[in-house]
Amino acid sequence: MGAKKAASPSASGRRAESMARRRRGNLRYGIAAIVISFVLWGMAHGRDSVERGYDIPIVFDDLSDDLVITDASDSEVNIRVLGSRAALRNLSPTKMEYSVNVSGAKVGLTIHEVDVTRLDLPRGVKIVSRSPAQLSVKFEQRGRKNVKVRAELEGVPPEGFQLGEVVIEPPRVWLAGARSRVLRLKEVVTEPIDLSNLEESIEKEVRLSPGSDHVWVEEEGTVKVRIAIEPVEPAEGEEDEGSA
């Protein structure tokens, strides 16, 4: 019985190379399968419906110059939306607003139905709920009044100094706003001015504070306040004692 012939080195090399190719091929198929599975997962995940809530600010359009809004039941409309994650990524709530046209408003309380179908939403996003369903708005006649300006001074000058003349320019301004509140005001004050560290006269531009809601200064800006700080003159008796 003859001995088996040993495989030639070239045949062994071919078998090893073939096995290596198969392993490399299997590795490529495995990597491709993983990549495809991630892509399919991402596509399926992107199609999942998600519900989210957003607060949309309310703005009032075309308000008559003769009216002032003194009260509103809400300042925002909350909406709940449903859509895929991909669609919701196209939604920019910070750029959205719910506008209410009040061009025909009159003095008193009015009720407006909240119609969120007017909101511009990306394709694939729908509104499932909103709150509130109604918005109540109170309107009042607008008024104006000319009042004096008073400087709001805090503290006293340091020891050895005293407050002199205070001059305000302009001395009077026009206020506007809700008529019932404007007519009650007799003056408007400046923002506080601290005297506690003043050892010399100053001139300062300060803002005005009407001190009432729904009232404002017609000409926005500042007023100029000149404050004189003077040294305290010694009393007559004290001066005589010092010279003796």
Average pLDDT in the chain: 86
pLDDT tens per residue, range 160-217: 999 999 999 999 999 999 999 999 999 999 999 999 999 999 999 999 999 889 999 9
Model pTM score: 0.68
Q: Supply the pLDDT for residue 220.
A: 83
Q: Can you list the domains of the chain with their CATH numbers?
A: 49-141 (2.170.120.30), 142-231 (2.170.120.40)
Q: Supply the pLDDT for residue 48.
A: 72
**Triad 207, 212, 218: Cα angle to 5°:** 50
Segment 61-90 mean pLDDT: 94
